[in-house]
Chain A
Amino acid sequence: MAVDVEEVARGLSGWGKFSIGAEITVSEFRDERLLHERLANFRCLQVKRQRETIGVLVDTETWLNLVATVNQLLADRDRLDDQLALDLIALREPHATFEPGYPGLTDELFAAAEEQAARETRQR
Chain B
Amino acid sequence: MSPADGKKALKQVLDRPAVRIEKIFAARDIATLRATFPDDEAYGDALGAVALAIAQALVNPTTAGKDLERTLAGWRRMRFGPRAGGESDLRLLFRPTPNQRGSAIDVIAFGPRYVPDGQAIYFSVPDRIRSFRK
Contacts and interface: CB of A to CB of B under 8 A. Distances in A.
Contacts of B108: 88-89, 92-93, 96
A103 B15 contact: yes
A86 B10 CA distance: 25
Contact of B30 (A91, A101, A109, A120): A109
Interface residues of B, number: 49
B46 interface: no
A85 B68 contact: yes
B15 A105 contact: yes
Interface stretch (A19-27, A48-56, A110-118): A110-118
A109 B14 contact: yes
Nearest to B114: A84
The majority secondary structure among interface residues of chain B is mixed
A95 to B, nearest CB: 5
Nearest to B104: A100
A109 B30 CA distance: 8
B109 interface: yes
A112 B23 contact: yes
Contact of B73 (A81, A93, A95, A112): A93
20 contacts: A81-B113, A85-B68, A86-B75, A88-B108, A95-B126, A98-B20, A98-B21, A100-B19, A101-B13, A101-B18, A105-B14, A106-B10, A106-B14, A108-B23, A110-B27, A112-B23, A112-B24, A113-B34, A116-B132, A117-B35
Given A95-B22, A98-B22, 8 more contacts: A81-B113, A82-B66, A82-B68, A85-B122, A101-B14, A105-B14, A109-B23, A116-B27
Q: Which 5 A-B residue pairings sit nearest by Cβ, starting from the closest?
A: A112-B27, A98-B20, A113-B30, A100-B17, A88-B122
